[in-house]
Amino acid sequence: MKSYLAAAVCMTSTPNIEKNLQQAEEYIELAVNQGAILVALPENFAFLGEEEEKVARRQEIATLSEKFLIRMAQRFQITILGGGFPTPIADDSSKVHNTALLIAPDGLELCRYHKIHLFDVNLPDGNQYCESKTVMAGTSLPPVCDAGDLGKLGLSICYDVRFPEVFRHLSRQGADVIFVPAAFTAYTGKDHWEILIRARAIENTCYVIAPAQTGNHYGRRFTHGHAMIVDPWGTVLANTGAKPGIALAEINPQRLQQVRLQMPSLLHRVFG
């Protein structure tokens, strides 16, 4: 593992796939021009619209998303995370998987993950979410893949951040960096987003890269933004705030080792 620059993208996706991918490409290019070799896109980067439309267009969204990620990885010679997009299920036309995909600079797939925790919540602001209506939960814990000089990278998606056992699993598998791509609601984000991201970094002494959606996407769907990168001590290295843009920060293996020596809590685990 070596020191390198990573970027977490903050964007406002809508039901318009073409415009979403164009927006994503602009932020990827901006990040690369500033030296990033690892770029993470948020959940729903290619499409954020009504659930019924998402299912109806599942094959189109999945195909365009995967082709886009491969093209960006090869064009810019970066490792790129597509933080969540619908992928079809062979024997079920009513639901999709919410899938995160990590692509290497040569365009080959490093790993993928189907979101296991689904967001079924009625919020005090009147918004209701029932992700399980159109999404089938994954059945496997998220993977950690060895990305060579970039270290060991662990995957998760959005609502997973509220389940610390997922991140303990990733740290047990040796994760140096964990992704938390999200479309966090505006209502919960203001109180919980940064706290949860920093907590996952602190308790697992790892870097956390958290790309995010922000603003108004359609109807009453608003997200919190604040894409960020947090170091193993829980320090926020970069934060986009509520505006679209990129959070850019160094991933430093010496810092990782330093914190793990100073606070060797992973070695002191009693249960798991």
- Please report, for the chain, the start and end positions of each structural domain, with discontinuous segments joined by +: 4-268
Answer CATH for 4-268 from 3.40.50.300, 3.40.50.1400, 3.60.110.10, 3.40.50.410: 3.60.110.10
Bridge partners for 41 per DSSP: 82
**C-alpha–C-alpha distance, residues 100 and 45, integer Å:** 11
- Confirm whether 115 is a catalytic residue: yes
Q: Could you say which of 10, 111, 158, 206 is catalytic?
A: 158
Angle subtended by helix axes 58-76 and 17-33, to nearest 10: 20
Q: What is the pTM of this model?
A: 0.97
Amino acid at 69: L
Residue found by looking up tokens 């060579």 in the block: 148
The pair of structure tokens assigned to 223 is 């997200």
* Structure confidence at residue 171 (pLDDT): 96
Q: Which of 10, 111, 115, 145 is catalytic?
A: 115
Catalytic residue status for 25: no
Determine the pLDDT at residue 220: 85
Measured CA to CA, the distance from residue 80 to residue 29 in angstroms comes to 12
Task: Give the CA radius of gyration of the chain.
Answer: 17
Task: Give me the average pLDDT of each 10-residue run along the chain (272 residues).
Answer: 97 98 98 98 97 95 98 98 96 93 98 97 86 96 97 98 97 97 95 98 98 94 96 98 98 97 92 76
Q: Of these residues, 43, 54, 66, 145, which one is catalytic? A: 43
